[in-house]
A and B are shown apart, each in its own frame.
Chain A
Amino acid sequence: MTADALDSRCWLAWGLAAMTPVLLGRNPWVLLEVMIIVVVVRVVWLPRANQRGMGWFLRIAAVFTIVGVHFNVLTVHAGDRPFGSLPNAWPVIGGDLTWNALLYGVVSGFALFTLVLIGITVSSQISWLDLVYSLPARLAPIAVTGSVAWAFLPQTAIAWQQIREAQTMRGHSFRTVRDFVPIVVPLLAGGLERSLVIAETLESRGFGASGQSRLRDERRTRSLFADLGMIIGLVAIAAAAYCAAVGLLRWALVSFGVGILGLFTASRLAATQKVMGARYRTIRWSSADTIVTVSSAVGALFVMGWNIVRPESLGYRVYPDLAAPQADIVLMLALGLLLVPAFAPGGEGRR
């Protein structure tokens, strides 16, 4: 994290705003504009080396996209533009293969790819520790745990590569899914060993110590309920994200509400009032952070409101008849607000 970076919370707000139109519809024009905006922001803010380091995320997204397109074409037989067919006797995949299904698969894959790109752009700009500092002190232990877990991902990717090479040199070849079992076993074993070392390190460095020392017997029950609230809250937030991703917006809202309620309850019940009470680093909020956050929020709110007023602007239906997608100029202009980070100046000395 450099000294002239935008605040992590600001990036989080931008990321959520950029994801909103992608999650709400499949209009190719909207997706294309968001993708271009994300690429521009990424090029402006990310060092070249960092962009290369995230290549494997993009490769995984590309694989999912290709698999998704094939899956859609083979399993959805609706649409007015067939280009071939498989015998009807074949279960699930038997029937017409249509351009409609192919196009929807491509658009969905493109949306997935855009979401991944937004995710890695945001994750490469935010500092977990800054976010920890931004949270209520009572939630700090979970956030630190999350940051350690996050740091685990690249290590696991490196370990995967090392194991694969070592096995190849022993004469093992990777042709089918079963051939990957020899990778999984040492990967899990190594991951477990690393987890134990990190856990030992955290224990040895007093992680959660001040809360622990204040914990008295009579407050243990209360603390247990607080932990339960946190677990429920986090699971509900994750469920909300999933529901939003698959288009179940009503359930997403319900889950999000339950999640917030759970975390709020946990924060009130938690006995660890002094955990990370004193903080070393002061995080300052600059005018650039305000501009980016406000523009992102306005953009996201506009998109959500526009989706209620004119749902066809964000949506794109390819079934039963294939038609050209609409381009809504007002919406497209509003999405331009997401481009603001590309013009944000570096706020020197903000930390």
Chain B
Amino acid sequence: MTGTRQAQAPLAEFVEVAYRYPDAASNALEGENWLIEPGSFSLVVGRSGSGKSSLLRCLNGLVPHFSGGAFGGSVRVDGINTRVVGPRELSRAVAFIFQDPESQLVTDRVDDELAFGLEQHGIDRVTMAKRVEESLDYLGIEQLRHRRPSELSGGERQRVAIAAALAMHPKLFVLDEPTSQLDPWGAEDVISVLTRMNDDLGMTVVVAEHRLERLLGSADLVKAMGHCSGESFTGTPEEAVLRFDPVALPPVTRLGRALGVLAPPLSVKEGRAAFRDLSINEESGDPPMDSAGDAVVSMTGVRVELGGQTILSGMSLNVGEGELVALMGRNGSGKTTLLRTVAGLQQVEEGGVTTCGVDMRMSGPADLDGAVGYVPQQATTLFFKERLIDELAFTAEARGTSADIHDVLRQFELEGKAASHPLDLSCGERERAALATVMVGRPRLLLLDEPTRGMDAWKKADLAAHLEWLRTQGVAIMLATHDVELVAQCATRVVMLGNGRVIADGCPRAVLTDSLTYATQINKVFGGRWLTVEDVMNRLREIGAVS
């Protein structure tokens, strides 16, 4: 059973593992040694492209059985050599959850999904029925059992995927960025399930995740893949946070490091204890909002329907030049529809929309004449040329701009990738390439739909800096995101959507503070108007508590 612990022997063991993908110029993994103890909770961290996914795929044999390539060293899971036994047979011992909730469910009913793996392994009907029921109950998704997976939210789908894996009674649970595509509530659901499985059932869990603030407090062990601290290492979370690049750390931990705390806090709860004596409670008033330039977007009483359902209702919103407006709200609250409406991609049933001076009730995207740049959630949909430089040249020509393409590539740190095929770029590079491809057209308004999904902390910091630079150039930016910390860092204004309406609109300090769901870590610790590490440090400098 899942909770059984093997007293001494590790559940999984990597010995000098090296791996290179077919046709790759360099190794994805190099000399990896790692022991995974039964019942442990391991967190795998590192930059995009550092080999986290490859490492995880070694655990269920996808590497090398599925991906091919050159494999050296050995990986043993529950005594099985993964080089000899492939993912199909290993699926009884190792459950693997992928980051995309949409692609990993293969049947058209939730309870069938839970039974799928059991049927594949020829488990008898009575045992199968028992395990399906237990898994439904454990995950609290009994009410979903007759639903189609396509009707579920991202968080629900991930819970169904976890339940399906749990029904197999695996010894090891491996999850590759399971929350990267989810809103904060979906992510919380998934994380609470994982910690409960680890605590209650003694299930061994291995998770790769970029957002350390979500899992660092729950992990027993952290495996850092290169570049996180300049080198790969494995250690406790307490050891890891002292070696990490501060950019990758959760805000409370970063603050602890900045203040020289010997054991920086790993979670909000620990943060409250660690900073209990820090007196920064003299609050200043809300800073005035940056004055916006001329209106670029003007919406009045807009109603939009999709498939007979009202998605936006009575929506009124103005966005001015040089503003960076973050659109927040749960999945389905209308963020993407709002961006599409502004871009002229969505028909308006009622009300008026003016984008860059064009009345969008009468016009389409082509009438905007390049004034709007739109980067959708799937940035790869923008690319169709053989080389990145050709993509930029196409936009420049279509928009009739005289932008220096090489200069734009340099701005986005892509000058070395000019001749690369856009679809060969890494995840972070693709996002930057998408931005470059759009920005070379010199739009007045930039629409970004969840650009940080799956992006590591360093890339996110780069993106924030770049957006800030664009804003200072007078570009208006509308950013749909769930990333509270990013919004606190770079937005000038936050528009909270709920049920297709604006439910809050103001500066980040006004909207994100005292929020049950959208508060930053720092705000959860200190309350008041404090949002970021920089806020606290500046205040401490003001009162002379730190130099």
Asked whether, in the complex, the Cβ of B108 is within 8 Å of the Cβ of A128, the reply is yes
Asked whether, in the complex, the Cβ of B308 is within 8 Å of the Cβ of A277, the reply is no
Asked whether, in the complex, the Cβ of A206 is within 8 Å of the Cβ of B88, the reply is yes
CA distance A151 to B111 in the complex (A): 18
| A311 part of interface (Cβ distance < 8 Å) | no
Nearest residue, chain B, Cβ from A52: B307
CA distance A203 to B87 in the complex (A): 6
CA distance A144 to B125 in the complex (A): 19
Asked whether, in the complex, the Cβ of A274 is within 8 Å of the Cβ of B122, the reply is yes
Asked whether, in the complex, the Cβ of B115 is within 8 Å of the Cβ of A205, the reply is no
Residues of A within 8 A of B383 (CB): 185-186
| B378 part of interface (Cβ distance < 8 Å) | yes
| A232 part of interface (Cβ distance < 8 Å) | no
Closest beta carbon of chain B to A194's beta carbon, Å: 6
Nearest residue, chain A, Cβ from B124: A278
| B26 part of interface (Cβ distance < 8 Å) | no
| A209 part of interface (Cβ distance < 8 Å) | yes
CA distance A171 to B372 in the complex (A): 10
With A52-B307, A170-B395, A170-B441 known to touch, is A186 a contact of B62 (CB < 8 Å)? no
Asked whether, in the complex, the Cβ of A52 is within 8 Å of the Cβ of B308, the reply is yes
A-B contact count (CB 8 A): 174
| B30 part of interface (Cβ distance < 8 Å) | no
Closest beta carbon of chain B to A53's beta carbon, Å: 8
With A167-B384, A197-B103, A281-B112 known to touch, is A276 a contact of B120 (CB < 8 Å)? yes
Asked whether, in the complex, the Cβ of B104 is within 8 Å of the Cβ of A201, the reply is yes
CA distance A181 to B441 in the complex (A): 21
| B118 part of interface (Cβ distance < 8 Å) | yes
Q: Which of B92-100, B276-284, B326-334, B464-472 contacts A (4 or more CB under 8 A)?
A: B92-100
Contact of B395 among A171, A183, A205 (CB under 8 A): A171
Closest beta carbon of chain B to A166's beta carbon, Å: 4
| B143 part of interface (Cβ distance < 8 Å) | no
| A290 part of interface (Cβ distance < 8 Å) | no
Asked whether, in the complex, the Cβ of A206 is within 8 Å of the Cβ of B92, the reply is yes
Asked whether, in the complex, the Cβ of A209 is within 8 Å of the Cβ of B395, the reply is no
Number of chain A interface residues as a range: 35 or more
Asked whether, in the complex, the Cβ of A205 is within 8 Å of the Cβ of B91, the reply is yes
Residues of B within 8 A of A134 (CB): none
Which residues of B from 353 to 401 have beta carbons under 8 Å from A? 364-366, 370, 372-374, 376, 378, 380-384, 394-395, 398-399
Residues of B within 8 A of A127 (CB): 108-109
Residues of A within 8 A of B115 (CB): 280-281
Residues of A within 8 A of B384 (CB): 167, 181-183, 185-186
| A67 part of interface (Cβ distance < 8 Å) | no
CA distance A274 to B376 in the complex (A): 46
CA distance A52 to B381 in the complex (A): 25
Closest beta carbon of chain A to B120's beta carbon, Å: 4
Q: Which of A129, A159, A183 has the most chain B CB atoms inside 10 A of its CB?
A: A129
Closest beta carbon of chain B to A274's beta carbon, Å: 5
With A166-B382, A171-B441, A190-B378 known to touch, is A205 a contact of B307 (CB < 8 Å)? no
| A168 part of interface (Cβ distance < 8 Å) | yes
Residues of B within 8 A of A276 (CB): 119-120, 122
Asked whether, in the complex, the Cβ of B88 is within 8 Å of the Cβ of A170, the reply is no
Residues of B within 8 A of A254 (CB): none
27 sample A-B contacts, Cβ–Cβ < 8 Å, listed by A number: A48-B308, A49-B308, A129-B108, A147-B108, A151-B106, A151-B108, A155-B102, A162-B378, A165-B365, A169-B372, A171-B370, A186-B382, A186-B384, A190-B381, A201-B104, A204-B87, A204-B98, A206-B168, A209-B88, A209-B92, A209-B121, A212-B86, A213-B89, A275-B120, A278-B119, A280-B125, A280-B129
Which B residues have a C-beta under 8 Å from some C-beta of A? 60, 62, 65-66, 86-89, 91-92, 96, 98, 100, 102-104, 106-109, 111-112, 115-125, 128-129, 132, 146, 164, 168, 307-308, 340, 343, 345, 364-366, 370, 372-374, 376, 378, 380-384, 394-395, 398-399, 423, 437-438, 441
